Amino acid sequence: MKNNYAYGSLAAFLPLEPRLFPFDPAAIFGRQAPLEVEIGFGTGEYLVRMAAAAPEKNFLGFEQCARRVIKTLRKIHEARLTNVRVMRMDVVWALQYLLTARSLARVHCLFPCPWPKKHHARHRLFSTGFLRLVNNRLVDGAELYIVTDHAPYAAWIAENIPGSGFDLNTRIIPPTFDTKFERKWSAAGQSEFFEMALTQAAHQEFPQPGVYAMKTYFIDQADCLNVQLENVWGPLTIKFGEWLYDPRIRKAVVDAVVSEDDRAQHIWIVVIHTAKGWCVCPAGGTVVLPTEGAQKAIDLVAQAVRASAV
């Protein structure tokens, strides 16, 4: 039987690809317009409503949960919106690597994960460092708009304001946004939420890290049963998993956990025999943020493959 629910559109979905760096809104949306970002859009109610209410603006949403991205894509398609794009991506990396200084007209975040346990607090998003990053990516005088259900999180954000270049204005508001998480807290009896409007008072400097092209290697000679990979330790950490070589198809794979700037990505690297030699590159389907560390992991595999033949 035909599954009608399978039907949808990926038109608003931007897969993480090196060609997107640095983000060029005019090329992606096909027009110049103010660009607003939503952090952690969840199931997309607020993002879709904002985009429908302001067709003269462009909207870009970041969400880590794949299931929620799919639900949001359905809503965008049903609403026939052309001014919104979504990415499945950690917003810290998105702001750091993808988006450029003074490119955002407004940033929104409804009900950021509060990480209430003390030993989880390091996962909280709105540290002074992250606020400085958002500040840098906003156009002068623009606003970061946060709503939280969690009083200690609101207090923690307020503590992080000094040094961020923002002025803060907090209000208590009733349920207003009808998002999945607001409905959840309302159903649990919560009737007051913390609306935090952070207005940029002083632009902050924040360096734009380099983006690497993700070089593919071709190596003439290799002994793939004799590849020795060395881990890297320090501010940039690269930890290789087990090497697996299938001689039948002359192909090897290895997982590299690359940690830099306090965040980690898993990269599957493949080594495969081709007419041009042994090819070393990210495995097909792997999403790689093209950082210095990602390139270094590929370089190290290529070096080890080259050394294996000696």
Shortest separation between residue 221's beta carbon and ligand SAM, angstroms? 43
Which positions lie near ligand SAM, rule CB under 6 A?
40-42, 62-65, 68, 90-92, 110-111, 113, 179-182
265: β partners: 258
Nearer to ligand SAM, 29 or 62 (CB): 62
Nearer to ligand SAM, 64 or 226 (CB): 64
- Joined together, the tokens standing for residue 203 give 């632009």
Smallest gap from residue 121 Cβ to ligand SAM (A) = 14
Task: Say whether 250 sits in a helix, a strand or coil.
Answer: coil
174/284 with CB nearer ligand SAM: 174
Least distance between ligand SAM and beta carbon 115 (Å):
10
- Secondary structure (DSSP) of 171-233: EEE-S-S--HHHHHHHHTT---EEEEEEEESS------------PPEEES---TTS-----B-
Handedness of CA 34, 40, 44, 49 (dihedral sign): negative
- Position with the least CB separation from ligand SAM: 40
169 or 176: whose CB is closer to ligand SAM?
176
Nearest CA-CA partner of 219 in 294, 284, 309? 309
Q: Which tokens hold the place of 70?
A: 């799919």
Place of tokens 């009737």: 191
Q: How far is the CB of 243 from ligand SAM (least distance, A)?
A: 31
CB 262 → ligand SAM: shortest distance, Å?
12
Looking at beta carbons only, is 91 or 267 nearer to ligand SAM?
91
